[in-house]
Structure 1
Amino acid sequence: MMTDQKLYILMMSVHGLVRGHDMELGRDADTGGQITYVVELARALGRNSHIAQIDLLTRQIEDPNISPDYAAEIEELGPNARIVRLPCGPRKYLRKELLWPHLDQMVDRCLHYLRQQGRLPDLIHTHYADAGYVGQHLSNLLGIPQIHTGHSLGRPKRARLLASGRKEQAIERQFNLSRRIAAEEEVLVHASLIITSTSQEIEDQYGMYKNTDPRRCQVIPPGTDTSRFSPPGRKPLDPAIQAGIDRFLNTPEKPVILTICRPDTRKNLHGLIQAYGSDPSLQDMANLVIIAGSREDIRAMEESQRKIMNDVLLDIDRYDLWGKIAIPKHFMVEDVPEVYRLAVRRRGIFVNSALTEPFGLTLIEAAASGLPIIAPEDGGPRDIITNCRNGLLVNTLNPSDIASALKDALSDRKRWRNWSRNGIASVRRHYTWDAHVSKYLREADKLLYRERKRLRRQLAATLHAGRSPMPLARKVIISDIDNTLLGDEQGLAEFLQWLRMHAGNISFGIATGRTVESAVRILKKWRVPMPDILITSVGSEINYWPSLRPDKGWSNHIRHRWRREALAEALKEIPGLALQAPENQREFKLSYLVTPERMPPLKQLYQHLHKQNLHAKLIYSHEAFLDVLPVRASKGLAVRYLAYKWGLPLQSFLIAGDSGNDEEMLVGDTLGVVVGNHSPELESLRDREQIYFAKNTYALGILEGMKHYHFDQ
């Protein structure tokens, strides 16, 4: 049973050229079937009565070498569905392997976008590993379930490339697969639902990953638009498209062996041409038509595609196939249905000769058009031919097997007619977008039901119900723990009651020198519901409740010039310094006990580090402790990072503290509150603008400061 509330789903497909019309499929290795899938899925979901809004987020591209369409911020796809383009990294177009360093920026851009919408999505659905990385971080930050569709996976790709003889280092240099595979493993741990096209994808491909849980995988085959892909009927074919193919052929009326794919090694065009070129009897039976995207000049194509197309032309010449093979230069997505219908009129066959095929959307399109199919005997085609009963499976690694299957399929006209009818009927039964959306929403409803139960269980442990209030909060309170938030039970109770009354509009966080584990322990001891944000370890870590999920963007930001082991070695022999207990050491923090009379001055320590080309921030406190942090880390910088990340002005942050350790985050454009029991070192701030010295102590001092600033307005 569907939820009563209409759903807002945030879909993400980061790479490639994504637009809702004239899709340039095959233009490059990144603009293929995934683009069709995500655009059509967004449209189909938008038409459903249970959907409020579908936003398909992708990368905004401003590049003179591509259409200005890809720079438009918003593109409507249909009812309740649109493409939203956000800037990420350089303005120019980048292939997907070069996007990884810029994906943290996409996380921040998405957060700013969602703040503008005034409503958080119910689900985040990501496509491919790069979007999976972004979506996982959004899901963690917002507490929203993630659905993921892999489309193609890094481990199987690496295995195929190694099997083909490529060297591992060369593969890594070209495809950056180690980072992609690591991101896929993390998504598999986190995502609430993995959608696959076939059961084989779960068993054989996801089975190569250590974090795969088949219980969270669900087969939902893609749909096809049967209003576009349909049998030819009696309507005349488009003469321009027919002429664009027939001009290559000596005998155009012969049956057509049709393949449609982008120029990619995995698509095995070499094997198909070898199968056709090595068999004169097959050449007598049919012409070969290859639609491999659009091109202006092969020499201007990217290197991998240029090599494939050069090899195709050399193979055609090797087997002297001129007059028997058509490989037109210009074919738009809108032309493809007519090409299928032309092949049906000529009693042809569609062949997918790929070395491996996770699904095979073109097989569904061909079947919907009434064109029988030949396809690889692994992956998605096994399910498709089982459901559609409209063709043959073949070992595409063997060109002679491809040739034999094609001749077999073309030689029996009665069986060809049965296959054609079966394909049309079965696609309508199994592979329409309406069928896909119905199953998709059933699974989404189950997921959201489990999510609502989880949130109800967590409600008592936090000030908010599981999901972060940060994206929609108007203001944020950040307080030190010791001697600021804690110290007076009655004042703390009044402060917490105030926060509950303003939940949703005002978010609450702590900033402390304690580790996150120590902070959680002391807050639980004082029966403080967990804050939304925990800035810990002197600002070197940011975590979010309820799952203590780390802000990876902050970690990546402060990693700059941080060489922890080298710093530890450089400080090893410094007199007056002794490492604190292991539980006080963190990835981005070295903590020392200090003997003040023996430790050199801080200036001398900085000079010592700089001589070794080491960079760090040294925080000396209470004449007893020294913390060594990345140069970009501190409680004050963490607050400013949060302001940027969540799209809030600094004036929307109220900062409360009591000691010199809090000084950096109290000064500046934030609203500062110094509680009445403050340490003497803060007296120098008394005349500063936007720093209020409360008369009341501890949490009552925070309340007094909020009243002074009219913080609830």
Structure 2
Amino acid sequence: MSEPERGLYIVLVSLHGLIRGHDMELGRDADTGGQVLYVVELARALARHPQVERVDLLTRRVIDQKVSPDYAEPVEDLGEGARIVRIPFGPRRYLRKEVLWPHLDSFVDNALQHLRGVGRTPDLVHSHYADAGLAGARLAQLLGVPLVHTGHSLGREKRRRLLEKGLSEESVESQYNMSRRIEAEEIALGNASLVVVSTQQEVETQYSAYENYHPKRKRVIPPGVDLSRFHPPRRGEPDPPIAAELARFLRHPARPMILALSRPDERKNIATLVRAYGENAELRQAANLVVVAGNRDDITQMDTGARRVLRQLLLDIDRYDLYGRVAYPKHHKAADVPDLYRLAARRKGVFVNPALTEPFGLTLIEAAGCGLPLVATEDGGPRDIIANCRNGTLVNPLDADAIATALLKGLTDPRRWRQWSDNGIRGAHRHYTWESHVASYLKSVRRVLREGKPRRREPGRVKSRLPSIDRLLVCGLDNTLVGGDEGALRTLVERLRASGGRVGFGVATGRSTDAALKLLRQHDIPVPDVLISGVGSEIHYSGRQSQDPGWYRHIDYRWDPEALRAAMKKIPGLRPQPAREQSIHKISYLVDPAAWPGLTKVRAHLRRLDLHAKLIYSFDAFLDILPVRASKGLALRYLANKWGLPLERMLVAGDSGNDEEMLGGSVLGVVVANYSGELEHLRDDPRVYFAAGDHAAGILEAIDHYDFLGDVRLPDEEAEAS
């Protein structure tokens, strides 16, 4: 097939931190760092390429008096077809990334609404970091497009380093929500058709720790840098304004500078750098130390991690009596960053990055472009950067003596300093431009877009009355719609009939289509307008009259039932369910809880074999294996997108963990009183109503609570979250 005439539409997703296209507040906090600069510059560079028509960078909309009103603007134009689109989800106020997890379903739903307004399905979704990876995987599943993922930093590596520093498993988990982050990364890696990494070291030593480690889908594409701002100092130019700010701290401001520039984050390892400087008299005599660790007004008002890092910095300066030798300015602007590099280069200084691990090291490229030699951590991207540019040396970030020795090596040999400076300028321009990055990126993307064609013929055309409705009630079947007071069930059926044709009725169940329809007949329940059966593996309209062909094709993506059955034969404690419970897109087993190894180990087994499936374990007795794009929750959102049904006008009723995905996001949810305990944590969700009545009585209660048959009353999420 020939290439389409119009260019690519690419959606980038980067959710945490504060993102805008000008005056970036890099270092403001642990969430607003190099990733922010990377995604904005990537969006602009992609949009400049003639093969790309449009780039939307989706991030979080923040309405908070504590931050700039820029972050509340729904859209910001980046020029040449690139835009920042801020999607509202969760409370309006600014939140750190560790507490964004419960709100990601709302992002997905609202992002879908934005994309419907665009009127064009993107060609791919590119997610950045674990939170966007989880949301991006779901968004790509719903849109039926490839996922590209960039991790930026990885949870397993971070956990390893934090444990090495002496933190306990419990503190790492409570502070960083680490298990949830690592599972999100596994999901992103399992769904991604392409994983873009900055260095080969990332592939071999960091991604290899994951169950979904499949090097064939990794592409090493070093990030680009806009080097127009990062050039060497020019002869005769005066000191920049930031020099006067540094001079306030320094007894001999003209001495060479050891420059460190990072967020006030424990991973950046500022404390070890200060110890290296403080304990080496020769180094203290040879150079001043300049630590630019974000911006601050009042340390006591900063988040816990930043507060701890900056307090330790001040204590170490006092401990080693470094007054007059160390500068630690409170504020700097984005425009000051190139000036800092050039000032350090003019004074024959060195740039140091002592981070515990550095996935890439954007600041190293910027410093190199300004002619500033490097001393950098041996863990991560600096290996490739210094190998390419030959402009510095690597160190063990936990060895303070080795850091001091390396810094002296760069500061005390003028010939070596000049060679490293010249090499860095040439190497940065040769290896790290956005033009070369985008060319490699699009070559890999085009290969991905040619893959993944459907393999089976789909069913026939769809007949449905969903286009004529303006709201939809969707109920779980067993223990939600049926199983309780038959009188309440009769009342529910009559209220739906009396509402006229504008209210649709749907059922979502783990049962097969035939078994579900049989149960509905037994209880004299009308045939639903839409039936999601087989745990989301099938969608039918008006009973069995019409199967949705798009859903059939959509979930066939990466589905290999023969290989899955072969892999599952090696798992003890499993027995295939009867043939009537199996289908083209569902493999079902009976489970002996005492004999099988557990869901986590089975999932890891399939991931290592590069088999893509969704595992659903229920009632300590049943295991269903579905395509990665199949579930009751994804099916519901597919219906909303296909038929133009606003999720805010869907009322979803459930009782168990299998219903959780349906209940999240923008829909109106109800948990009936006879629910199982795994749904208890949803009580904090303002869009999930916990009914006092069980089964159909609870559904009736929710209809009144939301005025669902009237004007539809939406909850005030901000009021309930405060």
Q: How many Å separate the matches in 2 of 1:316 and 1:652? A: 59
Q: Which 5+ residue runs of structure 1 have no aligned equivalent?
A: 481-508, 523-532, 551-579, 590-634, 654-713
Q: Secondary structure at the match of 1:91?
A: coil
Residue identity in the other structure for 1:325: V
Q: How many Å separate the matches in 2 of 1:370 and 1:136? A: 40
Q: Secondary structure at the match of 1:106?
A: helix
Aligned-pair distance for 1:417? Answer: 1.0
Which residue, out of 458, 471, 476, partners 1:461?
458
- Residues 312-339 of structure 1 deviation map (CA, whole Å, 9 limit, x = unaligned): 0110111111111111111122210011
Residue identity in the other structure for 1:68: P
Structure-2 change in CA distance of 1:516 and 1:117 (3 Å): farther
Aligned-pair distance for 1:476? Answer: 11
1:167 match? 168
Aligned-pair distance for 1:583? Answer: 6.7
Q: How many Å separate the matches in 1 of 2:24 and 2:305? A: 21
1:99 match? 100
**8 Å CA contact 2:142, 2:634 repeated in 1:** no
2:64 match? 63
Structure-2 change in CA distance of 1:638 and 1:156 (3 Å): closer
**8 Å CA contact 1:128, 1:150 repeated in 2:** yes
Aligned-pair distance for 1:100? Answer: 0.7
2:378 match? 377
Q: Secondary structure at the match of 1:194?
A: strand
Aligned-pair distance for 1:182? Answer: 1.0
- Residues 433-489 of structure 1 deviation map (CA, whole Å, 9 limit, x = unaligned): 1111111111111111224xx24x45x33569xxx9x9xx999999x9xxxxxxxxx
Q: How many Å separate the matches in 1 of 2:383 and 2:215? A: 20
Aligned-pair distance for 1:360? Answer: 0.9
Q: How many Å separate the matches in 2 of 1:651 and 1:250? A: 63
**8 Å CA contact 1:108, 1:645 repeated in 2:** no
Q: How many Å separate the matches in 1 of 2:648 and 2:258? A: 67
1:46 match? 47
1:500 match? none
Q: How many residues align?
A: 531
Q: Secondary structure at the match of 1:17?
A: coil
1:536 match? 533
Structure-2 change in CA distance of 1:99 and 1:585 (3 Å): farther
Aligned-pair distance for 1:214? Answer: 0.4
Residue identity in the other structure for 2:555: L
Q: Secondary structure at the match of 2:335?
A: helix
Q: How many Å separate the matches in 2 of 1:2 and 1:52? A: 14
**8 Å CA contact 2:370, 2:425 repeated in 1:** yes
Residue identity in the other structure for 2:255: K
| CA RMSD after TM alignment | 3.8
**8 Å CA contact 2:288, 2:325 repeated in 1:** yes
Structure-2 change in CA distance of 1:463 and 1:246 (3 Å): farther
Correspondences of 1:670-689 after superposition (within 5 Å)? none
2:267 match? 266
1:16 match? 17
Aligned-pair distance for 1:422? Answer: 0.8
Structure-2 change in CA distance of 1:180 and 1:297 (3 Å): same
**8 Å CA contact 2:250, 2:327 repeated in 1:** yes
Structure-2 change in CA distance of 1:536 and 1:389 (3 Å): same
Is 1:412 matched with 2:425?
Answer: no
Is 1:648 matched with 2:645?
Answer: yes
Q: How many Å separate the matches in 1 of 2:296 and 2:58? A: 27
Residue identity in the other structure for 2:106: Q
**8 Å CA contact 1:349, 1:409 repeated in 2:** yes
Aligned-pair distance for 1:406? Answer: 0.7
Aligned-pair distance for 1:25? Answer: 1.2
1:280 match? 281
2:312 match? 311
Q: Secondary structure at the match of 1:545?
A: helix
Aligned-pair distance for 1:534? Answer: 6.3
1:545 match? 552
Correspondences of 1:171-182 after superposition (within 5 Å)? 171-182=172-183
Q: How many Å separate the matches in 2 of 1:396 and 1:308? A: 16
1:693 match? none
Q: How many Å separate the matches in 2 of 1:166 and 1:516? A: 49
Question: More displaced, 166-175 or 129-138?
Answer: 166-175
- Residues 223-255 of structure 1 deviation map (CA, whole Å, 9 limit, x = unaligned): 111111111123624542111112211111111
Q: How many Å separate the matches in 2 of 1:581 and 1:442? A: 47
Aligned-pair distance for 1:298? Answer: 0.9
Q: Secondary structure at the match of 2:255?
A: coil
Q: How many Å separate the matches in 2 of 1:294 and 1:386? A: 32
Q: How many Å separate the matches in 2 of 1:81 and 1:637? A: 29
2:247 match? 246
Correspondences of 1:22-37 after superposition (within 5 Å)? 22-37=23-38
Structure-2 change in CA distance of 1:119 and 1:282 (3 Å): same
Q: How many Å separate the matches in 2 of 1:404 and 1:636? A: 57
Q: How many Å separate the matches in 2 of 1:103 and 1:363? A: 33
2:683 match? none
Aligned-pair distance for 1:546? Answer: 2.3
Q: Which 5+ residue runs of structure 2 have no aligned equivalent?
A: 475-504, 519-529, 540-547, 558-576, 589-631, 651-722
Is 1:367 matched with 2:368?
Answer: yes
- Residues 183-212 of structure 1 deviation map (CA, whole Å, 9 limit, x = unaligned): 111111111000111011011111110111
State the structure with more CA Rg: 1
**8 Å CA contact 1:237, 1:338 repeated in 2:** no
**8 Å CA contact 1:54, 1:82 repeated in 2:** yes
Correspondences of 1:150-549 after superposition (within 5 Å)? 150-234=151-235, 236-237=237-238, 239-451=240-452, 454-455=453-454, 457=455, 460-461=457-458, 515=511, 535-536=532-533, 544-548=551-555
Residue identity in the other structure for 1:49: P
Q: How many Å separate the matches in 1 of 2:536 and 2:144? A: 23
**8 Å CA contact 1:475, 1:652 repeated in 2:** no
Aligned-pair distance for 1:545? Answer: 2.9
Matched-pair identity in %? 54
2:591 match? none
1:604 match? none
Q: Secondary structure at the match of 2:133?
A: helix
1:625 match? none
Residue identity in the other structure for 1:246: A
Aligned-pair distance for 1:518? Answer: 6.5
**8 Å CA contact 1:112, 1:646 repeated in 2:** no
1:711 match? none
Structure-2 change in CA distance of 1:637 and 1:230 (3 Å): closer
Q: Secondary structure at the match of 2:102?
A: helix
Q: How many Å separate the matches in 2 of 1:638 and 1:153? A: 30
Aligned-pair distance for 1:378? Answer: 2.4
Structure-2 change in CA distance of 1:215 and 1:248 (3 Å): same
Q: How many Å separate the matches in 2 of 1:519 and 1:477? A: 26
Q: Secondary structure at the match of 2:54?
A: strand
TM (normalized to structure 1)?
A: 0.69
Q: How many Å separate the matches in 1 of 2:342 and 2:50? A: 33
1:572 match? none
Structure-2 change in CA distance of 1:350 and 1:514 (3 Å): closer
Structure-2 change in CA distance of 1:71 and 1:235 (3 Å): farther
Structure-2 change in CA distance of 1:637 and 1:436 (3 Å): closer
Q: How many Å separate the matches in 2 of 1:285 and 1:330? A: 26
Aligned-pair distance for 1:141? Answer: 1.1
- Residues 614-654 of structure 1 deviation map (CA, whole Å, 9 limit, x = unaligned): xxxxxxxxxxxxxxxxxxxxx9999799448974369999x
Structure-2 change in CA distance of 1:643 and 1:141 (3 Å): closer
Q: How many Å separate the matches in 2 of 1:218 and 1:377? A: 21
Structure-2 change in CA distance of 1:511 and 1:397 (3 Å): same
Structure-2 change in CA distance of 1:387 and 1:637 (3 Å): closer
Q: How many Å separate the matches in 1 of 2:172 and 2:48? A: 42
Correspondences of 1:623-638 after superposition (within 5 Å)? none
Aligned-pair distance for 1:162? Answer: 1.8
**8 Å CA contact 1:198, 1:380 repeated in 2:** yes
Q: How many Å separate the matches in 2 of 1:463 and 1:128? A: 40
- Residues 72-95 of structure 1 deviation map (CA, whole Å, 9 limit, x = unaligned): 000111211010001001001111
**8 Å CA contact 2:76, 2:85 repeated in 1:** yes
Structure-2 change in CA distance of 1:537 and 1:393 (3 Å): closer
Residue identity in the other structure for 1:461: E
